[in-house]
Structure 1
């Protein structure tokens, strides 16, 4: 077994709970091949469902009464190719990938890594689990999507090197028609946390702009600590805003239905819109960087002013201490003088 593959095996009772512990909250999700049952792990602000079978699409539109759900009536690869890079927080493929030929499934996963910026969550049977359903046959929901329920590939944890794997060896005890399976088939979740990337906005430019706006003021450790966190946060927010806006525009257009051969044109329009959004965000980013630099400059000037006053007070304190010592010395000298002794002797001084 690949040394990068770490599997946590669970019994059936704890399987879903273990997987859920690894799934992060998300604002915008893509739910690929959800059929008539969208994922229930997270409650996002926006859910984009990708479903190619029209009967399932119609069912979703009737049964899911929510303004934050969009349905794209395309296949997985078509829909993914029309979405911008890193435009959704999480992508779910629950009981989906085994319905694709393995080569197609691998391409879909690669596209998921391009489109997602946070997590990808895949659930599939452990190995090839036979399930032959012919066109025209009813599916497990009693609808006519039988041909979409045919299993075409088998997947193993070794296919997901570097992912977190939660597995159960005795998960599937009945088939899609409710007929007992003996021996049972296993299943597993593969979950990957994608690395953060900041490739749209120039961090070096931002830091230089802050330094320039400070007119040579040195903030020392304060600059390193605050400017770094500020730049990182603003880059992440700007990236996310661009991606989400472009993704929602794409999803809205695709949800209305796209004629064969039109997906590429939609993608080109979204790509142009994406760069327009990037330019807007870059202008706003520059404005915020310069404003932050000005605020940091003001802070540093105030800090220098306070340090100067502190030094002045310390100098005055030292001067007062010196005068106090001088006065104490004079008092001691006066007390030891002959005149004082005579006055005390006659009772004039005590």
Structure 2
């Protein structure tokens, strides 16, 4: 059963829930806006759209940018090579089929955790790149996720009530100024 909260600080939740923080493979890092705040000693920021990495928000030495297609992670990394693999605002950019395959690959590469942060349900987004770096085709949302389906995959799910609202330009673009806020999901799979 998913846990619900009105707490908006999902990063603090990560700090509490994740036990091993040596290394992280972050899938779909974009311009690495949040990675400086993640509690890992080393982070590989994997991103298919090279301009995001070239124009990233941080040049912290513990964050290593890697320009590659996430669907090929099984060819790039050996099993159990990272403490965790994360999909922070990225799993929704894949079709359900590709996402399921990608999650299976992530579970082989991660030693301890696979982390997903995504809107609840389908959040329509296409033909827009809020970073202004011509990544529209990569920013298109191709799937939506509900707590029950992530739980069926073995994830512990937290529903962050009303997390997406008018403060988010993507929300306003998709839903307009008058739409009620929508939830986000933080899902963690704990591996053996």
User: What TM-score do the two structures reach when normalised by structure 1?
Assistant: 0.49
Q: Is residue 132 of structure 1 aligned with residue 129 of structure 2?
A: no
Partner of 2:58: 64
Unaligned 5+ runs, structure 1: 1-5, 196-350
Following the alignment from structure 2 to structure 1, what is the Cα–Cα distance between the partners of residues 36 and 178? 26
Q: Is residue 163 of structure 1 aligned with residue 130 of structure 2?
A: no
The offset of 1:65, in angstroms, is 2.8
Following the alignment from structure 2 to structure 1, what is the Cα–Cα distance between the partners of residues 81 and 73? 13
The 8 Å contact of residues 33 and 49 in structure 1, kept in 2 or not, is answered as yes
Q: How many residues align?
A: 184
Unaligned 5+ runs, structure 2: none
Q: Deviations over 1:201-249 (max 9, x none)?
A: xxxxxxxxxxxxxxxxxxxxxxxxxxxxxxxxxxxxxxxxxxxxxxxxx
Tell me, what secondary structure is at the counterpart of 1:111? helix
Following the alignment from structure 1 to structure 2, what is the Cα–Cα distance between the partners of residues 128 and 59? 28
Partner of 2:182: 185
Q: Is residue 76 of structure 1 aligned with residue 70 of structure 2?
A: yes
Write the mapping of 1:228-247 to structure 2, written as runs, cut at 5 A.
none
Greater share of strand = 2
Q: CA 1:89 to 1:76, structure 2 compared with 1: closer, same or farther past 3 Å?
A: same
The one of 17, 24, 27 aligned to 2:22: 27
Greater share of helix = 1
Partner of 1:176: 169
User: What TM-score do the two structures reach when normalised by structure 2?
Assistant: 0.85
Following the alignment from structure 1 to structure 2, what is the Cα–Cα distance between the partners of residues 176 and 79? 30
Q: Which has the higher contact order (CA 8 A, sep 6+)?
A: 2
Larger Rg: 1
Write the mapping of 1:36-115 to structure 2, written as runs, cut at 5 A.
36=31, 37-60=33-56, 63-115=57-109
